[in-house]
A and B are shown apart, each in its own frame.
Chain A
């Protein structure tokens, strides 16, 4: 127990920032884990440069990790940090603009050398020129404190300096009364084979903790009570891992072998990394020569009766387009995960955006409809992936899962699903003739559809007597023979569209959160904007303003009641991290003049920003509904 006074807080946002080689992501991860173990609800956002090692000490090379934790339900990683840990001048300069006055700044003054200051254009150290007066500034010699603490270790100075992130973690752990036992165990697992490095890291962690306890720099320590959360077992999970687990769980529940074809691409690659390890679950991962082969191998695997999956980002989807069109034509199950990032072209590879919605919707030649599902939080990526598999196998269609960089790398506490309660996915391979010919003889028709789902049979090579050829040329209805007949093509185009449209019958109605029942403004989002939108709604409701909130998970087809929901509200605000792609779809389909609010900064919306949009929108209502 600390000997210093303890102050209670309800929520804190900390941002760890440093050079991309300073270990800030690891520091953030460990602090997150300690915080989760204490029962706070939380949300995280890593932000790192596209370059693996940008020039040291430059603004380009700044990597950061933001964590929001609280004694209540946390919806976002936080708009603005309460605390910034800046390991060098570049980290300070890059992040200072996001700090509200009065925020706490901990800087590593050892790195505030003339040379490092000059690299980012500081003539005088901001630590010394009074320009940070309106912040709680803690200038600490983090590097030398770490090296001093490790004086007795037989390590090079460079190796000792490397442990400075653990010193910082120890200090922050003390400041916010986090237990360090989990981190100690983590270090033991990580450095088990290098005892001297392990001991140095443990010593640095401890020294940081003790420094907080003894220094006069910090007068108080803070505690944040556990949040009220639904009972059960939790872990912290990032979106890409949750997504991979959702695919594996669905494969397990369907009895299908998961076969992924993929080409590495930021920010989707971790899905491949996670799945490549899961041979225990029979998972086949094929890292192939290009994006096209990624989807090609997945289609081939699906044709053979496996669960074909490919995961990529926007540029990869562009390359896969023709093959996805083939899958539309073949009417085979296929899951395409698009972890969206800033575009166009290479764009902002490590930043988030929602700008592939129209690509998923329309980005192929011909009338080529695919189903689209978007998860709304990192943990929800599990559910979205599971549902995508159910949909793809039921309707024999490609299904897009539109995640994004924010969900992929962001984390949240995840109520671990009870495996026994995961629904069974029934796979019904056709093994017998399914029709009779003119003479009443049994015959197999590969494009004879299920009357309910309009799905065609899934018949595997190796099934005796049902040999047939499928392909990209238009099929005759029912028989699947080649057909260039104009009327048949018209019918088949409409049938493929009707099949996707018909999925709506199985979708739940869109839920609208409108507690007062008399809101005039609806804020409607999709995908990863859920957190900032929900937080913004909470903020304006605190001010007594009535707003309704709804969030779309199914982008194609839309839920059956969407048109009716849109018509119910005087104004509909649609925030998106693109230039209004969902708005285009809504206006086109429902003739409703939704109001698009957009930004494409590569970062999530802040809730403050959206709250302001909502306040303004409610202020301008006709008066009948307020």
Chain B
């Protein structure tokens, strides 16, 4: 149906005006607005902002063709700190607004910045539908497992039993795993990274930007005020090494240095010692697999105790985007009719097929 080459490098920004070769690339400073960020001291949002501002120039885009759309929450202040176009909209609705914008304007690189409450509670419906449609949006989901802007209530990613101001006896809600949810929605690009790992964060953002279609990037982000230490285990090098499940395309799925992920007898996934492992059962990561089932299984290795935490790109498959298909249908009809509609075409539409004339 569509003729866009989905495999090409930089397909994610195909059709978005780039700077000329002889123009100086953007620099980080130019991408920072003159507004002083107003997050709390030590907030993980600062490092994500720095990573985004640092990496965006690589795309070679014109600044004016970049738009950040957000909802409500701490993370949603993000557009104010970017010297690009932006919309700070209403709670949960950023994916819907961004869908309209991206569909109307294929010459824009559209980014959605959202949090666990914004994306998964009040805006859950828009999020899953943006992903299933494969709108060309880069969705950065800052997950701090808490409501920060409203000062500390449990969120849809808070662990079961979480004690907060609104759950003094412990939360009785079971949490979402955002990656599982995204894979269940058949998002074409799903990844997880972390605010403090600048290198990993940047590499994931780069891959997301190159992907044409919805890219859902869950970013573990620490809230130092209301949920400090949520990811403390991952900040300790040794602890992290023991827990992180490394998702590298084409590579056996490794946990730390001495463990691997393998299939059990019933097809379940388990973490086994690398030494003596049955290599025929070891999972080799295939982010490009059309079927998201294995990626989903990998996402389930995660559990509330954070014994194993898969990080990296779970899924990265090429599929036509929503707006490419929308415009292919319109262009098909318009081109077949010989170009844009004229007054005569409008006249024929209004006239219809069943008319009569009354004499003056």
Contacts and interface: CB of A to CB of B under 8 A. Distances in A.
Contacts of B97: 296-297, 299-300, 303
B126 A293 contact: yes
A301 B104 contact: yes
Interface of A: 33, 36-37, 39, 182, 226, 229-237, 245, 248-249, 252, 257, 259, 261, 278-284, 286, 288-290, 292-293, 296-306, 308, 322-323, 325-326, 330, 416-417, 419-420, 460-473, 482
Interface in B33-78: 33, 35, 62-65, 67-69, 72
Interface stretch (B250-258, B297-305, B339-347): B339-347
Q: Which 6 A-B pairs have the closest CB atoms?
A: A300-B100, A471-B88, A296-B96, A231-B360, A297-B100, A469-B86
Interface stretch (B138-146, B191-199, B309-317, B330-338): B330-338
Interface stretch (B204-212, B269-277, B286-294, B348-356): B348-356
Nearest to A307: B104
Contacts of A248: 346, 349
Which residue, B97, B105, B359, has most C-beta atoms of chain A within 10 A? B97
Contact of A471 (B64, B89, B128): B89
A465 B83 CA distance: 10
A518 B238 CA distance: 95
B358 A234 contact: yes
B104 A300 contact: yes
B64 A279 contact: no
A280 B341 contact: yes
A467 B346 contact: no
Contact of B98 (A300, A468, A471): A300
A257 B104 contact: yes
B214 interface: no
B65 A462 contact: yes
Interface of B: 17, 33, 35, 62-65, 67-69, 72, 79-80, 82-90, 93, 96-105, 107-108, 125-126, 128-129, 326, 329-330, 332-334, 337, 340-341, 343-347, 349-352, 354-360
Given A230-B358, A304-B104, A419-B347, A282 B340 contact: yes
A252 B343 CA distance: 8
Given A233-B355, A282-B340, A284-B330, A259 B100 contact: yes
A71 to B, nearest CB: 13
B101 A326 contact: no
A304 B357 CA distance: 42
B356 A233 contact: yes
B100 A39 contact: no
B100 A304 contact: yes
Contacts of B350: 245, 249, 416-417, 419
A279 B336 CA distance: 11
Contacts of B107: 462
Nearest to A236: B354
B100 A308 contact: yes
B65 A471 contact: no
A460 B104 CA distance: 11
Given A248-B349, A252-B341, A304-B108, A182 B100 contact: no
A443 to B, nearest CB: 12
B341 A472 contact: no
Contacts of B349: 245, 248, 278, 280-281
A468 B102 CA distance: 18
Which residue, B100, B101, B346, B359, has most C-beta atoms of chain A within 10 A? B100
Which residue, B33, B340, B349, has most C-beta atoms of chain A within 10 A? B349
B341 A281 contact: yes
Contacts of B90: 322-323, 325-326, 472
Given A326-B89, A467-B84, A470-B88, A420 B343 contact: yes
Contact of B99 (A39, A236, A288, A465): A288
Nearest to B79: A469
Contacts of B101: 300-301, 303-304, 461
Contact of A419 (B87, B129, B346, B354): B346
A297 B99 contact: yes
A332 B128 CA distance: 27
Contact of A286 (B62, B86, B93, B100): B100
Given A233-B357, A298-B100, A301-B100, A461 B67 contact: yes
A172 B67 CA distance: 62
Contacts of A416: 350-351, 355
A461 B64 contact: yes
A326 B79 CA distance: 16
Given A297-B100, A322-B90, 18 more contacts: A37-B354, A231-B357, A234-B357, A245-B349, A248-B349, A252-B343, A252-B346, A279-B332, A279-B333, A286-B100, A289-B125, A289-B126, A292-B93, A300-B100, A323-B90, A467-B64, A467-B84, A469-B86
A464 B88 contact: no
A281 B355 contact: no
B346 A235 contact: no
Given A293-B125, A301-B101, A326-B90, A464 B351 contact: no
Contact of B103 (A259, A280, A420): A259
Nearest to A246: B350
Nearest to A308: B100
A461 B351 contact: no
Contact of A461 (B65, B125, B340): B65
B181 to A, nearest CB: 15
29 contacts: A36-B356, A37-B354, A182-B354, A231-B360, A234-B355, A234-B358, A237-B352, A257-B104, A280-B341, A283-B330, A288-B129, A289-B129, A293-B93, A293-B96, A293-B126, A296-B99, A300-B87, A300-B98, A301-B100, A301-B103, A303-B97, A304-B101, A306-B105, A416-B350, A419-B343, A420-B343, A465-B64, A469-B79, A472-B88
A377 B138 CA distance: 46
A252 B334 CA distance: 14
Contact of A235 (B35, B334, B354): B354
A279 to B, nearest CB: 4
A322 B97 CA distance: 13
A419 B93 CA distance: 38
A284 B93 contact: no
Contact of B87 (A283, A420, A466, A470): A470
A435 to B, nearest CB: 17
A465 B72 CA distance: 27
A469 B128 CA distance: 26
A297 B358 contact: no
Contacts of B86: 468-471
Contacts of B334: 279-280, 282
A325 B347 CA distance: 36
B105 A461 contact: yes
B52 to A, nearest CB: 15
Given A248-B349, A417-B350, A482-B80, A292 B88 contact: no
Contacts of A467: 63-64, 83-85
A192 to B, nearest CB: 14
A237 B340 CA distance: 25
